[in-house]
Amino acid sequence: MNEEIIDLVYIVAAVLFIVGLKFLGSPASARKGNIISSVGMAIAVIATLFTKGLNYELIIGGFVIGGVIGAVVARKVEMTSMPEMVALFNGFGGLASLFVGWSALKNEPSPELFFLATVFLSILIGGLTFTGSLLAYGKLSERISGRPFVYMGQRIVNSSILIAVVVCAVLFIQNPADQNWLYLAVGLSLLLGVMFVLPIGGADMPVVMSLLNSFSGIAAAAAGFAIGNILLIVAGSLVGASGIILTNIMCKAMNRSLSNVLFSGFGTVSTSSGPVVEQGEVKPMSADDAYYVLEAASSVVVIPGYGMAVAQAQHVVKELQELLEKNGAEVVYAIHPVAGRMPGHMNVLLAEADVPYDLLLEMDQINPRMENFDVAIIIGANDVVNPAAREVESSPIYGMPVINADQAQTVFVLKRSMASGFAGIDNPLFLKENTRMLFGDAKESISTLVSEFKS
């Protein structure tokens, strides 16, 4: 197959990527978008295999090994571990771009300035994305502490590493034959990824996940320029651009600026020393008592969080929704943009349980209606419903847009204990007069409610 035909096939694949990305913008069409994008990638891979000079033995070997590993991991991964899986995908995507850019040097006897610059960018951003994503994986899986790691002069250290990388780039471009500067840059880029994510707290992981996803796309686009592959440039640019847009959305949802994200100036969680919003006692309630309140309710809003993912409660939540609707109640779901530990985490869980998409309402849609709901059921969410974000100026999350669950007539909070959320901040919602706590496993509590309705 000649190069003109391959380029034409690449254009078709790129169009499928763009169309697929468009469909991914809506939960109702996301599956179709995923299939369209997958078809585009399959076409691109098949076309690439017709390129001259390829080592088919290595390609087939890599395909088999990677395919087996991917299939095994995909079948075993639980929905609660999906954020960690996405972090690993981002990381290995960055590592692949690093190797692609590095290997391109061997096939270019007389490299030009643009070529060297794109190679260096693919290596730098790819290495940063790899180690940064591995560290994000560790924090999300709680193999390492999710709290931010900060120390005196941290920004100075990070700036020094970045300056050293730039110096290595200049010296390498001036003398490409001496790759010692490139080796040093690889090491520094890997170190920079670690230093980039260290000061970011676990509660801010949705932001850093979006940003690392964008970085993996930018690294791929740079690698595409290095090897002259049109499709890799297009695909990398799409991922990079969509990741930046999503990062911006996440930043607004957490009341943080994009510049703070890019320069690791966020994520530190301090202890609030301001006045307590609400004083009182925790008022526990049994699931049996909660049933009587729900049985009389005409409108219910469910606010899911990471606790729902841990309990794997999405299916019994859907069952409770159907029973409430059968009883004459309106049931909707309030989805905060950063609920869970990755963008769209709650949407994915509820889609798995076949919850209708039109029942998933965003924060801006639900807050004006919150006072009209008879019951708000909070399942494992904490920081995204914390009224301290509105009421306590000294709170670390003050100014962060939250779901105003406390404004519902009655609030049920399903938690295992009174432990603080991922941000490590106490929630005065638990002490409010209209709040009742349902302690225990969320799935078991909701299953009890389901049994009560059925009987």
Closest of 437, 431, 433 to residue 413, by C-alpha: 437
* Model pLDDT for residues 64-95, shown as the tens digit of each residue: 998 899 889 888 887 677 788 888 989 999 99
The one-letter amino acid code at 4 reads E
Q: What is the pLDDT of residue 121?
A: 92
Three-class SS of residue 304? strand
Residue 375 CB burial class (10 angstroms; 0-12, 13-18, ≥19) = buried
Neighbours of 284 (CB within 10 A): 12
Q: At what angle do helices 230-253 and 3-23 cross, to 10 degrees?
A: 20
Q: Which of 383, 406, 426, 441 is catalytic?
A: 383
Lowest mean pLDDT among 195-199, 218-222, 314-318: 195-199
How far apart, in whole angstroms, are the C-alpha atoms of residue 108 and residue 97? 17
* Domain architecture of the chain: domains with CATH: 77-262 (no CATH), 287-454 (3.40.50.1220)
User: Using alpha carbons only, what angle is made at residue 111 by residues 110 and 117, rounded to the nearest 5 degrees?
Assistant: 170
More confident residue, 57 or 217: 217
Map residue 379 onto helix, strand or coil.
strand
Q: What pLDDT does residue 104 have? A: 87
Query: Could you tell me which residue, 254 or 439, shows the higher pLDDT?
Result: 439
Distance from C-alpha of 320 to C-alpha of 449, rounded to nearest angstrom: 7
- 136 close to 197: Cβ distance less than 8 angstroms: yes
Rounded Cα–Cα distance for residues 179 and 200 (Å): 33
Please tell me the distance from the alpha carbon of residue 10 to that of residue 22, in angstroms, as a whole number: 18
Provide the 10 A C-beta neighbour count for residue 268: 16
pLDDT at 394: 77
pLDDT digits (tens, 9 = 90+) for 33-54: 999 999 999 998 888 888 766 7
Q: Both tokens of residue 309? A: 């993912």
Average pLDDT of the residues in 273-301 = 79
* 204 counts as catalytic: no
| pLDDT tens digits along 144-163 | 876 777 777 777 888 899 89
